[in-house]
Amino acid sequence: MTAVANPVLPGCHPDPSVCRVGDDFYLVTSTFEYLPGLPVLRSRDLAHWEPVGHVVHGAPDLSGLPSSSGLYAPTIRHHDGLFWVVCTVVDQRADGRAADDRRPGLGHFLVTATDPAGPWSEPAWIGGDGIDPSLFFDDDGRAWVLATRPAREPEWPGQTEVWLRELDPVARQLVGPEHVIWTGAVRGAVWAEGPHLYRLDGRYLLVAAEGGTEVHHAVCVARADAIEGPYVGDPANPVLTHRHLGRGVDVVAAGHADLVEAPDGSWWAVLLAMRTSGGYHYPLGRETFLVPVAWEDGWPVLAPGVGRIPPVVDAPDVPGWPGDRVVSGRQSGPVLPGDLRWTGVRALPTDVATPAGDGWDLPLRPATLADLDAPAFLGLRLAHPHADLVVRVAADLAEGEEVGLAVRQSERDHVRLAVTSAAGGARTARVLQVRGGASERVLGEVALLGPADAELTLALEARGPDLHLLAAAGGGAPALVATADARTLDSVATGGFLGLWAGVHATSAGRPTATVARVRAVTYDPRG
């Protein structure tokens, strides 16, 4: 066994789903409004994950969707020589959690691929309502979809129900009657969601999250003799939760698990949780953790003998893995244009910028980070409590234009280290924060000395809840401009479901322009 630190996928990798094909495991996570969407990662030990591609590039269309909308809770499975992913596109403005059928391109869709790196098929819209769809291929050749929606006849506020319908895998449409198979394990618990089905020892096992994706999150299980039910809950429910540990613990909100069997017969669960920082805050968002699974009386026991996510997990030892492969979230140093960690907001990185050497040519766009649009933003997940992001960039800015480094939660909440030019070429670096969609506030500013065309060095030094933003021109050592508080940007403070992204941003603030920012290099280094 190999001792590996949890989380195995640091940074915002929520709602993990996993499947195994031969000796390889494949995992996908939610990405909401970021593109490319739904990263596909491969592993042989469940601990070191190599990015191989993304499921969503051009379709579905995410334009105009507010932050924390978009691609919700995918499930990946392998059947009959194909990889299958089912997911939901949600407009968060609709009703807070459920898909809205008033806009085309919302709801549940299904895609397939022979190679998990892609290309993936065009989305097939399968119908059904709610969120968190999952796929199950039964031993008899039938296929099923299950998902979560608000209960039609709720017994308490926030109650949801898990529905099940057969899938025609050829027509890629739901068929036959609908069955409501689960409404939650604990009376009064909200959001029984993230359901997955498995067939073990002739019975059907249902694994679902419960309690909402915050401090009360939990993993619950039930089983039935027939796929349509009735399902009986495990007397040990919830089988894993951190809610009894309170908000002061280092890892909160354990839930949304998916189970998988390794080639050696051992069982494991990937699930989401959040590492706290500076109190009950989690700026990195929901990350992917790994726990071992044992079986007792036909029921899964997650993290046996411990009862919580361990800080270090003994993962399967696979000789030669990961070797020199790029491992998502753990590598440091230059982040080149071909790195699969790059993301854009409602647009692909290559839609807003062009690879150029070790960096990018980033044309300024009229859109700002506050707009429901596709801004000129090249972002990376902030994946470590302590990390440095350094950007070298050059731009001949007109008055009113800006280039900089941004830390983004949403269009309503973000921080920018923005460099602007005044008449005569004098440049100023300001740290600006937008909170709750209100007018931006200046946290600090410095004058940048040197020629107007001198290359800029912009840096983020994340140190727990403190985000130090530094700038320099002409090769000098970056000086502190201001410090922002990450606790004002996380989803506890702002709402939504995302961790923080950091990256390069450029805008002409609503005006047409031909200015291009030359991003020479970007480096990301975990610290400690």
Domain that holds residue 81: 2-315
320 in any annotated domain = no
Residues 133, 200, single domain; the answer is yes
- What are the start-end ranges of the H helices in 209-280? none
132 in any annotated domain = yes
pLDDT of residue 451: 83
Mean pLDDT throughout 337-342? Answer: 96
pLDDT of residue 411: 97
pLDDT digits (tens, 9 = 90+) for 469-489: 999 999 889 999 999 999 999
Residues 47, 189, single domain; the answer is yes
Tell me, yes or no, if 153 is annotated catalytic. no
Token digits of residue 174:
């739901």
327 in any annotated domain = no
Residues 179, 292, single domain; the answer is yes
> Tokens 């140093």 — which residue?
333
pLDDT of residue 96: 43
Residues 216, 302, single domain; the answer is yes
pLDDT digits (tens, 9 = 90+) for 87-118: 999 998 754 444 444 566 799 999 999 999 99
Partnered with residue 376 across adjacent β-strands are: 506
Residues 86, 124, single domain; the answer is yes
pLDDT digits (tens, 9 = 90+) for 123-154: 999 999 999 999 999 999 999 999 999 999 99
> Tokens 């490319």 — which residue?
36
Catalytic residue among 50, 193, 210, 287: 193
Residues 175, 306, single domain; the answer is yes
Tell me, yes or no, if 178 is annotated catalytic. no
| Res. 360: pLDDT tops 90 | yes
pLDDT digits (tens, 9 = 90+) for 226-270: 999 999 999 999 999 999 999 999 999 999 999 999 999 999 999
pLDDT of residue 103: 60
Residues 372, 454, single domain; the answer is yes
210 in any annotated domain = yes
Q: How many C-beta neighbours within 10 Å does residue 222 have?
A: 23
Backbone angles phi, psi at 181, to 5 degrees: -110, -10
pLDDT of residue 331: 81
Residues 415, 276, single domain; the answer is no
Residues 366, 399, single domain; the answer is yes
Residues 414, 281, single domain; the answer is no
> Tokens 């065009």 — which residue?
122
Q: How many domains does the chain have?
A: 2
First-last CA distance in the chain: 24
Catalytic residue among 15, 45, 132, 490: 15
Mean pLDDT throughout 274-280? Answer: 97
> Lowest-pLDDT range, 98-107, 212-221, 411-420, 458-467?
98-107
Residues 252, 342, single domain; the answer is no
222 in any annotated domain = yes
520 in any annotated domain = yes
CATH of the domain at 409: 2.60.120.200
pLDDT of residue 327: 82
pLDDT digits (tens, 9 = 90+) for 44-88: 999 999 999 999 998 999 999 999 999 999 999 999 999 999 999
CATH of the domain at 290: 2.115.10.20
Residues 305, 411, single domain; the answer is no
pLDDT of residue 95: 45
> Lowest-pLDDT range, 66-70, 102-106, 375-379, 416-420?
102-106
425 in any annotated domain = yes
Q: Tell me if 228 sits within 8 A of 181, measured CB to CB.
A: yes
260 in any annotated domain = yes
